[in-house]
Amino acid sequence: MKRRPLLDYALLGLLAQQPMTGYGLRRVFASTPMGVFSDSPGSIYPALGRLERDGLIRPSGQSGARAGSRLLTPTSAGLSALRRWLSAEITREDVARRIDELLLRFAFMDRHLDAALVDRFLGDLAESASAYVNELRAYARSAAGPPSSTGRLALGHGIAAYRATAQWARRAGAEWRKSHGLDVS
């Protein structure tokens, strides 16, 4: 099971919220904060081709009366793949290098995972982000630390950003538990 590009999961997650055409997906990327992904046809259509080839999505009708347009929907295999991706453990590498992927996963979670699992994700994220803050602080203090003054300040940005992430995760967890009647017993 080779690693699937993040774009594939972004498309799969959006189609699971609402069947759309390729053009509709492009509009999402062009006009929302999901715009970290390119809206160019040269990335979207090949990705949709991959997903269809692998049986994760299928065409399910036309958009309005428009000839040639294809509304796309995840298959059950597609939903399984999505759930597997959403359920993966949070690793140190995810936090250090793929924080955007973790947030994308979270954004899609409510439709596909139990409330308790969503809560666990936020708890793990808060913990991992704090651990990474400690790592960055240790590096800042170490002899191998940043050699330049702006380098030191830039490291401070990393620390501030991950602190903000940890804090957000704790607060979001509290909010989530409140609105879902969960509580740490």
Q: Given the rule CB under 7 A, which residues bind DNA?
A: 3-7, 21-24, 26-27, 38, 40-43, 45-50, 63-70
Name the token pair of 170: 């704790």
The residue (of 50 and 180) whose beta carbon lies closer to DNA is 50
118 binds, among DNA, a copy of itself, none (CB under 5 to 8 A by kind): a copy of itself
| Angle between the N-to-C axes of helices 6-17 and 41-53, in degrees from 0 to 180, rounded to the nearest 10 | 80
43 binds, among a copy of itself, DNA, none (CB under 5 to 8 A by kind): DNA
If one counts every other C-beta atom within 10 angstroms of the C-beta of residue 15, the result is: 24
- As measured in angstroms, the least distance from the Cβ of 151 to a copy of itself is 5
80 binds, among DNA, a copy of itself, none (CB under 5 to 8 A by kind): none
| Residue 109 sits in the site that holds a copy of itself (CB under 8 A) | yes
- Residue choice 97, 117, 174, 178 for contact with a copy of itself (CB under 8 A): 97
- The β-bridge partners of 57 are 74
- Residue choice 24, 59, 123, 156 for contact with a copy of itself (CB under 8 A): 156
155 binds, among a copy of itself, DNA, none (CB under 5 to 8 A by kind): a copy of itself
**Ramachandran region of residue 21, left (φ > 0), alpha (ψ -120 to 50) or beta?**
beta
The residue (of 39 and 127) whose beta carbon lies closer to DNA is 39
Name the token pair of 8: 């594939």
User: If DSSP codes are grouped into helix, strand and coil, which group holds residue 181?
Assistant: coil
Q: Provide the sign of the torsion angle of the four alpha carbons 20, 36, 123, 169, taken in this order.
A: negative
104 binds, among a copy of itself, DNA, none (CB under 5 to 8 A by kind): a copy of itself
In terms of Cα–Cα distance, which of 142, 94, 146 is closest to 121? Answer: 94
If one counts every other C-beta atom within 10 angstroms of the C-beta of residue 30, the result is: 13
Within residues 1-60, the interface with a copy of itself by CB under 8 A covers 17-18, 31-33, 35-36
Cα–Cα dist 66/15, whole Å: 19
- Residue choice 167, 177, 183, 184 for contact with a copy of itself (CB under 8 A): 167
